[in-house]
Chain A
Amino acid sequence: MSPTAIYGFLTHGIVFGAFVALLQLGSKRRILALAAIPVALVAGIASFMHGIIGTPSLTLLALAIWQLAGRTPSPLAYRPALILIAFALPFYAMALGLGPLDPYALGYQPLPLLAASIPLAALLWWRRLDCWLLILALDLAGYASGLISNLWDALFDPLLVLVALAVVIGQHVRSSVASSG
């Protein structure tokens, strides 16, 4: 099996553990979340997630580790989640055949994307978004390692976008409950 397959399988186990860490499990939450990782790997949950979702992004891995470490709040707050959704939805639509352009192809020879990441990194540094700058560096290092063949796949994936969607919807639900109360 390839290093990419091993990375994807293990990361889905970690992501499953991070999802368990989101549950209201009281004081045992972290222990149960960490215990969920080997369970996911052995019971076929990680294999199923890997088969359906594909290789997870390094951004998702970083956020999952953040969650498992019990660090709060998550860097994936309302605004970054909204930005991710606004970028990913048209990106996926075009990559799946809407229109003649396939933005995904840019990720196979990503020098222009890497050039664009430099002002993005400067912006993150200037806005003191240190977590996101660290995650961006991790994504690029993951691509440099050869684990991931297309740079876009290091940056985001459908499961991460789904989590972002949950963050945005959850924020709106909480706001509407608060305003009605």
Chain B
Amino acid sequence: MTLPRWLLPLLFVLAVAGAAWRAPTPSAPAFLPPPALAKNDAPASFAAAMLPTAAPSAHAATLAELPDGRIAAAWFAGAREGAADVAVWFTTLDAGAWSIPRQIATREGTADATLGFVRKIGNPVLYAEGTRLHLWYVSVALGGWAGSSLNHSVSQDDGRTWAPPARLQTSPFLNISTLVRAPPLQLADGGLGLPAYHEFIAKHGEWLRLSADGMIIDKVRMVHDQRTLQPAIAALDERHALAILRDGGPGPGRIRSATSDDGGQHWTAANALPLPNPNASVAMLRLHGGRLLIAGNGAGNRNQLLLWISDDDGKNWRPAPTVENLADPNAEFSYPALLQARDGQIHLAYTWRRQGIKHAAFNEAWLDGGTP
């Protein structure tokens, strides 16, 4: 059967019109910075405890605050990093006690939902947006973490049940090398800006702009002269944001940074911060009072977990109390995640010797040197 020739241009016109109708034409992006709240005058407090053990090896925690004020944590754990039994585990802090962890993403479940082979899963990111709790995590079909693809799932009931994950299309070449580590930022149009990174051949940060219905509508590269990874981003106002990145080596051994002055549409490499980074993940939080808080490792290795505060949007930094400090260079306290709850309490979760996840809760008075 042969189509009449006049029909082809007609089909093309219909198709191009349909595609143009469907193509996103978003407004200029703007951040939705968290509202500034009055400083809490409560006395200094600090408490730390291990999260319940899920499996022998644990890594890469992430935190979110649920609508009812409970704190949720997720991380990946299994026999060892990259093992076939690694799953994303989830627990909530309710009345001072963590619930028994349960799996919310597995290798088999991801393969079933995406109808594609999956060899291993890793890095989760939680984010509470109204009544929706988002989970992004990476999965690999072939090779190492550089071959990661991004998956997304949503819970409408505070993490009790989850929709089947969908794989996001973020790269044209085998859809590989998009990873996440830090939570997204809310945008003024109802969408989200998700910090991501690429590590196949080149290593650099990325910014994925998501529409209110979860579609990717833009992807922006954060270019540095040397390798960088794992951006964590804080909005300073509607237009300006600061990104800090892991020094992917061989760099200056300091936390790298980038800035945006147009709501995340473009990112410009900025000077490395005067803070050490031994090629390790960092976390950043804009506190309710407007100050910035960074958690990261010391210069030597991952055997120190340190905090730094900036009172002037990241221009100057000063040390806050030390969280972990061991002389043993093989000790590992790494991959911090930060969250400030609506009650002002600051939550920190981090990998503890790869054996588990430790959680610390403290307030701004403790950060300022107060003694609990």
Binding site for B on A (CB under 8 A): 1-2, 4-6, 8-9, 44, 46-48, 50-55, 91-92, 95-98, 100, 102, 104-105, 107-111, 114, 117-118, 121, 125, 130, 133-134, 136-141, 143-146, 148-153, 157-158
Most buried by B among A55, A105, A111: A105
**Contact in complex: A50, B117 (CB < 8 Å):** yes
**Contact in complex: A138, B115 (CB < 8 Å):** no
Within 8 Å of chain A (Cβ to Cβ): is B18? yes
- Assembled-state Cα–Cα distance A139/B19 (Å): 9
Within 8 Å of chain A (Cβ to Cβ): is B271? no
Nearest A residue (CB) for B219: A105
Most buried by B among A2, A145, A157: A2
A-B contact pairs, 25 of them (CB 8 A): A1-B115, A2-B166, A5-B116, A50-B116, A50-B117, A51-B117, A52-B174, A54-B169, A55-B175, A92-B173, A102-B220, A104-B219, A105-B221, A108-B24, A111-B23, A111-B25, A130-B8, A133-B8, A134-B3, A134-B8, A137-B16, A138-B15, A141-B14, A143-B22, A152-B172
Given contacts A4-B166, A149-B169, A150-B216, 17 further A-B contacts (CB under 8 A): A1-B112, A2-B166, A5-B115, A44-B117, A50-B115, A96-B177, A97-B200, A97-B201, A97-B202, A98-B201, A105-B218, A108-B24, A110-B19, A137-B11, A144-B19, A144-B22, A149-B168
Give the residues in chain B near A150, CB-CB below 8 Å.
169, 172, 216
Q: 8 Å CB contacts to A: which residues of B25-80? A: 25-26
Within 8 Å of chain A (Cβ to Cβ): is B217? yes
A132 to B: closest C-beta gap in Å: 10
- Assembled-state Cα–Cα distance A52/B219 (Å): 22
A140 to B: closest C-beta gap in Å: 4
B45 to A: closest C-beta gap in Å: 45
**Contact in complex: B174, A158 (CB < 8 Å):** yes
- Assembled-state Cα–Cα distance A51/B140 (Å): 8
**Contact in complex: B220, A105 (CB < 8 Å):** yes
- Assembled-state Cα–Cα distance A45/B172 (Å): 21
**Contact in complex: B20, A114 (CB < 8 Å):** yes
- Assembled-state Cα–Cα distance A53/B174 (Å): 5
- Assembled-state Cα–Cα distance A95/B114 (Å): 24
Nearest A residue (CB) for B114: A5
**Contact in complex: A137, B111 (CB < 8 Å):** no
**Contact in complex: B169, A6 (CB < 8 Å):** no
- Assembled-state Cα–Cα distance A141/B22 (Å): 10
A-B interface, 7 closest residue pairs, ranked by CB to CB distance from nearest: A97-B202, A51-B117, A144-B18, A51-B116, A54-B175, A140-B15, A9-B115
Q: Which of B16, B117, B177, B219 is A114 in contact with, Cβ under 8 Å?
A: B16
Give the residues in chain B near A97, CB-CB below 8 Å.
198, 200-204, 221
- Assembled-state Cα–Cα distance A118/B176 (Å): 31
B121 to A: closest C-beta gap in Å: 12
A70 to B: closest C-beta gap in Å: 13
Q: 8 Å CB contacts to A: which residues of B193-219? A: 198, 200-204, 215-219
Q: A92-B173, A97-B204, A150-B172 are in contact. Are A141 and B18 (CB under 8 A)?
A: yes
- Assembled-state Cα–Cα distance A139/B141 (Å): 26
- Assembled-state Cα–Cα distance A9/B113 (Å): 11
Give the residues in chain B near A137, CB-CB below 8 Å.
8, 11-12, 14-16
**Contact in complex: A8, B115 (CB < 8 Å):** yes
Within 8 Å of chain A (Cβ to Cβ): is B96? no
**Contact in complex: B24, A109 (CB < 8 Å):** yes
**Contact in complex: A95, B171 (CB < 8 Å):** yes
Give the residues in chain B near A118, CB-CB below 8 Å.
16
- Assembled-state Cα–Cα distance A8/B115 (Å): 8
**Contact in complex: B141, A51 (CB < 8 Å):** yes
Give the residues in chain A near B173, CB-CB below 8 Å.
92, 95-96, 158
- Assembled-state Cα–Cα distance A4/B115 (Å): 10
Give the residues in chain B near A145, CB-CB below 8 Å.
18, 22
Nearest A residue (CB) for B203: A97
Within 8 Å of chain A (Cβ to Cβ): is B341? no
Q: Which of B15, B114, B202, B215 is A96 in contact with, Cβ under 8 Å?
A: B202
**Contact in complex: B114, A1 (CB < 8 Å):** yes
**Contact in complex: A91, B12 (CB < 8 Å):** no
Within 8 Å of chain A (Cβ to Cβ): is B282? no
Within 8 Å of chain A (Cβ to Cβ): is B130? no
Within 8 Å of chain A (Cβ to Cβ): is B149? yes
- Assembled-state Cα–Cα distance A143/B18 (Å): 8
- Assembled-state Cα–Cα distance A177/B55 (Å): 60
Give the residues in chain A near B15, CB-CB below 8 Å.
136-141, 144
- Assembled-state Cα–Cα distance A95/B178 (Å): 12
Give the residues in chain B near A149, CB-CB below 8 Å.
168-169, 215-216
Q: Which of A4, A91, A114, A146 is B172 in contact with, Cβ under 8 Å?
A: A91
Give the residues in chain B near A140, CB-CB below 8 Å.
12, 15-16, 18-19
